Copies of this chain bind each other. A is one copy, B any other.
Amino acid sequence: MPVTTEDKIKAVETYINSFSKGDLEAIVGLYADNATVEDPVGTPIKEGIEAVREFYTGAVGNGAQLELTGTPRCAGDYVAFPFAANINMDGNKAHIEIIDTFRFNRDGQVIEMRAFWGPENFVTG
């Protein structure tokens, strides 16, 4: 059974909130065993749940606080959502504007994440 719009939006909310709480297991728990993560798009793809866990261990360790900056858009097997990541780097605050896409499998697990952002979306100060 295809994943519902409600399930997709719930996954996005879990992702945003769990990141902000530093809840690594809740984030990794959204992913399928054979998931891939490409963050940012154009860099080497992390393949499989252990590579995904390793990636988020580092990302959550930055203490980033995420906030949605628009409504999630659901289409086909996907949801796309705009958000900002607020990070403390060496005592300086950084703000990055990002768009992520999640693709879901029929069990409602994320099988592909792609993050769209570049240097121009990065503001320090």
**B77 x A42 contact (CB < 8 A):** yes
Tell yes or no: A125 within 8 A of B by CB: no
Known: A80-B99, A99-B80. A41 touches B75 (CB 8 A): yes
Which of chain A's residues 40-65 have a Cβ closer than 8 Å to chain B?
Answer: 40-43
**Which B residues are in CB contact (< 8 Å) with A101?**
80, 101, 116
Size bracket of the A interface: 20 to 34
A101-119 near B? 1/0 per residue, CB < 8 Å:
1000000000000011111
**Cα distance A76–B97 in the bound complex, in angstroms:** 16
**Cα distance A74–B79 in the bound complex, in angstroms:** 18
Tell yes or no: A73 within 8 A of B by CB: yes
